[in-house]
Amino acid sequence: MNEVLVKMVAVGILFGSWPLIMQRSGLTGSTSTLVFAVIAVLFVLPVALKSGIAVEGTIWWIAIAASACGAIGLLLFMSGAAQSLPTNVGRMILIMTLFQLAAPAVYHVVVNQGLSPKTAIGFIATAIAAFCLV
* pLDDT one-digit tens code per residue, 39-88: 999 999 999 999 999 899 999 999 999 999 999 999 999 999 889 888 88
> Which residue segment(s) compose the domain that 47 sits in?
3-85
pLDDT of residue 40: 96
More confident residue, 4 or 95: 4
More confident residue, 128 or 60: 60
Assigned domain for 93 exists: no
Verdict on whether the full-model pTM lies above 0.85:
no
Assigned domain for 49 exists: yes
**What DSSP designation does 8 have?**
H
Q: Return the beta strands (E) in 6-130 as ranges.
A: none
Assigned domain for 51 exists: yes
The torsion angle over the Cα atoms of residues 69, 34, 83 and 74, rounded to 10 degrees, is: 20
**Count: domains in the chain:** 1
Assigned domain for 109 exists: no
36: left (phi over 0), alpha (psi -120 to 50) or beta: alpha
